[in-house]
Structure 1
Amino acid sequence: MTAARTHRTAEEIGRTERGPRELPPLGRTKQVPLPDVITGTLPNGLKVLAAHRPGVPMVEALLRIPAASPSPVADPEWTAGTEVLAETLLAGTASRDRVGIDDDLAAVGAELGVGVDPEWLQVGGSALASGLPELLDVLGDVLTGATHPDDEVARERDRLVERIAVARAQPRTVAREALQRLRFGDHPIVSEMPTAEAVEAVTAERVRALHADVVVPEGATLVLVGDIDPDAAIAAVGEHLGGWTGDHPARRLSAPPMPAPGDVRLVHRPGSVQSQLRLTAPGVDRSDPRHPAFQLANLVFGGYFSSRWMENIREDKGYTYGAHSGQEIVPGGAVLSLDADVAGDVTAAALLETRYELGRMIAVPPTEQEVAAARQYAIGSLLISLDSQSSLAGTLSSLDAAGLDVEWLRERPARLEAVTTEEVAAAAAEFFAPSRITGVVVGDAEQVGPRLTALGGVTVEEQA
């Protein structure tokens, strides 16, 4: 009779008769495999970045146009209009209808998509490298000749209203909007989603007027990454987009005010069984010499699965499926964000443990072992994130928007390698101090309010 096999724990598997198995030493980090980036600017003001990235016979294209509202405050009508503009940009031109655009793109294995936010209108997609001229021809056609037909505007407007209704019922949307208002007040950056009423009022005439106002080349940047000759690609852009004109430069979004420290605001969401915890503080701009130390300090606190905050409120306490901290880049700087969704009955406990972990970043600074692990994760994840043409194009585009270039990216591993544990500890003490933090909690105030307010530093938002 065969004896029953016993289950071995992970600790037992990792041990031998002579003690724990030793892990092999980590090797030196490889150089980031980045191509040279060729830059050109067309007479119409369009900036073009082109990089040769072979491996697959494709090219990735990403056009970013500054699309800020001319109003100094949040403007629901502008947000609604640009959303409908983005939805109908590929709906047809004087020479191609929607089907014609799709057919011409499909013929060269291409696709295009459009997105918009308070800062940018973006048109992005990919094609077979040999089909770049055809992709640029379609792109030039929609940029200069999109007609935004009345029936397409009406159809997309109705779909957008439905999507907004669904999104506004989601607690994460409520939390995001509450956090943005707390951070930035009435600055236009808070207008990430229009109201249904504003969308319903958008007309085709308004969309066409917005196209002439927003879709302009001066100040825009087109990034091309793929199996291409960069100089030939820039010449092709000039051929197909050189006729794109505008009577003014694209409008950049002004820098918003940084969030001020203060009480956490409790936003009442009746009947909610979960609470959304969203905390924030000013972050560190990528050009700041303290940025590498801040990045490692953030990883130690809550930036990846092995972080202190995750270990506490997920692994140890079981309050959440996930907790994450990181930076959001905004014009003129960055903001730190701490996100976790927790059950209603442990909302106060989760906030208490979060404050504890923030304080522990000062009282018990990151150790050599924690910093080494965070450093390896940061460099390794950077290498992985740049592995595809699309990810490299997106990174180059976002860096260009911040006034940085590929050399900043190329030197990033060396900067991370050079950071000392003492510098990470200093960044932790400076940027993760509980006294810098504010934020929102979205939940049922009747259920979670008494315990939260008893903790102190929590204010219940007055209902309109």
Structure 2
Amino acid sequence: MTGTISGAKTHRTAEEIGRTEIGPRPLPELGTQKAAVDLSTVDSTLPNGLRVIAVRRATVPMVEIRLRVPFADPAASSAGSPHSAQAELLANTVLTGTAARTRVEIDTELALVGGELDSVVDPERLSFTGNALASGLGTVLDVLADVLTNASYPADELERERARLVERISIARSQPSVIAREALQKVLYGDHPYAKEMPEADEVATVTREDVVALHGKALLPRGSVFVVVGDIDPAEAVAQIGEALGAWQGDGEAVQLPPLPPVNGGDVLFVHRAGAVQSQIRLAAQAIPRTDERYPALQLANLVYGGFFSSRLVENIREDKGYTYSARSHPEFTVHGATLLVDADTASEVTAAALLETRYELARLGLVPPSESEVDVARRYAIGTLLTSTSSQSGLASFLVNLVGLGLGLDWLVAHPQRLQAVTPEQVAAAALEFFAPGNFTGVLVGDAEQLTPKLRALGGVSFQ
């Protein structure tokens, strides 16, 4: 609403606010990037083999907890293995009851301290995520300890969750993004367990309660696992409290780590037919390097320049300039054994071949026309800013830290990384671009309708058809 009080406007438009009588208001200079604050932390290993990392961040009177349990298939092969289906059902039912608590009692007890617990699984790990008021940490630990040592997997809860999981898997497998992801993982890793991110619905349907209980006993182990707590705590006291609460969690052996992945070799993009599709999914991948490699900071900035944020070359080309896609991006994906570079774009069928051509063109251009000093500086500011922003909250820091620890890194890497990014030169970014973004390094998949796409893709080349 616009009105006047004593002849003055009570409301100004955004255009009016942004301008003066002599023209647009100048933008202020960007401030200096702030370094990460010093963090009080304790890193200890309990007698049962569980590593505990406690970090004080007293921004709010809360705590965030993360438990990472390596949970790979001990058979080291996804072919015919029931592990994926059993692990999914375990993650969906481990919090549904114990010998001492029902599902409702677990939820109620956590709610009384402003808390919650959740669990998810993937081919690498079983993860527990939780939070509560700082004063409720003991309650969360007590519930978690009960779940880890006495989960009962009630038959009615398991039956209900199994039916829901079968339905969710069936629906997910009809989604283009899931079809593309599964096809890409198969191309990259074949029968390696990492390629099987989702079990088949019929595999889940055959899992019994006895299967889940047995998996819990042999695979949900403290030795090799990591517990992270971040919040308004005294780190030493928190470690002692966790040790007392989780000391009864025992088990023979060590949690199973994912076996090494095969290297990603460049090659043709595999075409996957999806009849009647009006959109196509382009998914490319290449071998990358882990965060421990001294070249990683330069690679991180090269990736941002290519397609890692909205101001990147790829987005400017196929989204802003040509309108081929609403969303395009490139990003690294890390496992305990290494890393890959991924490029994702969804396009309308009629421009799919052109979008693939421009995506490859930008890969080549990154190496042949190296990023300018200005491009590197913008990417650097974005990288440092997003790192500091994403880890400024208790939740963000806890999640980032538990993932770092799973990759063999720690809080010291996080604290020092802005300085590593600051030291990267444009020449180092150019070298990383030339080494890692060459089009020949990449392989991948393209999901779409064969009737519409095949002629143009054959003419383009570099695409294989089943």
Q: Same-fold call, TM > 0.5?
A: yes
Q: Could you tell me how far apart the structure 2 residues matched to 1:177 and 1:330 are?
A: 17
Aligned counterpart for 1:48 among listed residues 52, 63, 72:
52
- How far is the alpha carbon of 1:15 from its aligned partner? 10
Deviations 1:169-228 (A, max 9, x none): 100000000000111111100111000010000000100001101111111110000001
1:223-242 matches, cutoff 5 A: 223-242=228-247
What is the Cα deviation at residue 104 of structure 1?
1.2
In structure 2, the CA distance between the partners of 1:383 and 1:72, relative to structure 1 (3 Å rule), is same
Matched, 1:31 2:35: yes
**Matched letter for residue 239 of structure 1:** E
RMSD of aligned Cα (Å): 1.7
Partner of 2:461: 456
Question: Are 1:428 and 2:433 counterparts?
Answer: yes
Q: How far apart in 1 are the matches of 2:20 and 2:192?
A: 58
Q: Deviation per CA, 1:370-399: give whole Å up to 9, x if none.
A: 011111111111111012111100111011
- 1:23 shift after superposition: 4.4
Q: Matched residue of 2:169: which SS?
A: helix
CA deviation map 1:6-54 (0-9, x unaligned): xx999xx78997x997644333211112513211111100110001110
Structure 1 residue identity aligned to 2:123: P
Is the contact between residue 336 and residue 406 of structure 2 (CA under 8 Å) also seen in structure 1?
A: no
Contact kept, 8 Å, 2:336 with 2:408, in 1: the verdict is no
1:90 is aligned, of 90, 95, 103, to 95
Give the C-alpha shift of residue 59 in structure 1. 0.4
1:418 and 2:423 aligned: yes
Report if aligned partners of 1:45, 1:217 keep a CA contact under 8 Å in 2.
yes
Q: Are 2:68 and 1:64 aligned? A: yes
Q: Does 1:181 align with 2:181?
A: no
Equivalent in the alignment of 1:5:
none
Letter in 1 for 2:239: I
| Aligned mates of 1:158, 1:138 — CA distance in 2 | 26
Question: Is the CA contact (8 Å cut-off) linking 2:71 and 2:219 kept in structure 1?
Answer: yes
State the one-letter code of the partner of 1:46: L
Q: Note if 1:339 corresponds to 2:323.
A: no
Task: Indicate the residue corresponding to 2:263 in structure 1.
Answer: 258
Structure 1: gaps of 5 or more residues: 1-7
Q: 2:305 aligns with which of 277, 282, 300?
A: 300
Evaluate the alpha carbon distance shift between residue 352 and residue 9 of structure 1 in structure 2; reply closer, same or farther with a 3 A threshold.
farther
Is the 1:261–1:437 contact (alpha carbons within 8 Å) kept by the matching residues of 2? yes
Matches within 5 A, 1:28-427: 28-75=32-79, 76-427=81-432
1:16–1:355 Cα change, 3 Å: farther
**8 Å CA contact retained: 1:302, 1:309:** yes
Give per-residue Cα distances to partners, 1:256-276, cap 9 Å, x unaligned. 112111001100011111000
When normalised by structure 1's length, the TM-score is 0.95
Is contact 2:335–2:407 with CA below 8 Å preserved after alignment?
Answer: no
Residue aligned with 2:186, SS = helix
Whole-Å separation in 1 of the counterparts to 2:21 and 2:356: 42
Cα contact 1:258–1:335 (8 A) shared by 2: no
Deviation at 1:121, TM superposition (A): 0.4
User: Once the 2 structures are TM-superposed, how far is the Cα of residue 231 of structure 1 from its aligned partner?
Assistant: 0.8
Q: What is the CA–CA distance in structure 2 between the aligned matches of 1:197 and 1:435, rounded to whole Å?
A: 39
In structure 2, the CA distance between the partners of 1:107 and 1:20, relative to structure 1 (3 Å rule), is: closer
Q: Which residue of 1 aligns with 2:10?
A: none
- Using the alignment, how far apart are the partners of 1:255 and 1:209 within structure 2? 26
SS of equivalent residue, structure 2 residue 82: helix
Counterparts of 1:191 and 1:14, CA distance in 2: 56
Amino acid at match of 2:247: G
Q: Percent identity?
A: 56
Retained in 2: the 8 A contact 1:40–1:49?
Answer: yes
- In 1, distance between residues paired with 2:106 and 2:434? 54
Alignment partners' CA distance in 2, 1:16 and 1:287:
53
Helix, strand or coil: the match of 1:59?
strand
CA distance in 2, matches of 1:394, 1:316: 36
Supply the distance in 1 between the matched residues of 2:319 and 2:163 (Cα, whole angstroms): 41
The one-letter code of the counterpart of 1:60 is E
Distance 2:205 2:459 in 1: 44
Shift of 1:77: 1.4
Give the letter for the 1:323 counterpart: A
Asked if the contact 1:263–1:439 (Cα under 8 Å) also holds between the matched residues in 2, the reply is: yes
Q: Is the 8 A contact 1:379 1:413 kept in 2?
A: yes
| Per-residue deviation, 1:402 | 1.2
Q: Which amino acid aligns with 1:88?
A: T
Residue identity opposite 1:71 in structure 2: A
SS in 1 for 2:259: coil
Q: 1:16 to 1:378 in 2, by over 3 A?
A: farther
1:237 partner letter: I
Farther-moved stretch of structure 1 (339-348 vs 67-76): 67-76
Query: Deviation string for 1:394-442 (max 9, x for gaps)?
Result: 1110111111111111111111110001110111111100110111000
CA deviation after TM superposition for structure 1 residue 55, in Å: 1.5
What is the identity, as a one-letter code, of the residue corresponding to 1:260? N
Runs of 4+ in 1 over 6 A off after TM superposition: 13-17
Cα 1:329/1:34, change in 2 over 3 Å: farther
What is the TM-score of this pair, normalised by structure 2? 0.94
Q: Please name the residue that 1:3 is paired with.
A: none
Q: Distance in 2 between matches of 1:261 and 1:107?
A: 54
1:50, 1:230 within 8 Å by CA — same for their partners in 2?
Answer: yes
Secondary structure, aligned partner of 1:342: strand
Change over 3 Å in CA distance of 1:9–1:206 after alignment to 2: closer
Contact 2:367 2:438 in 1 (8 A): yes
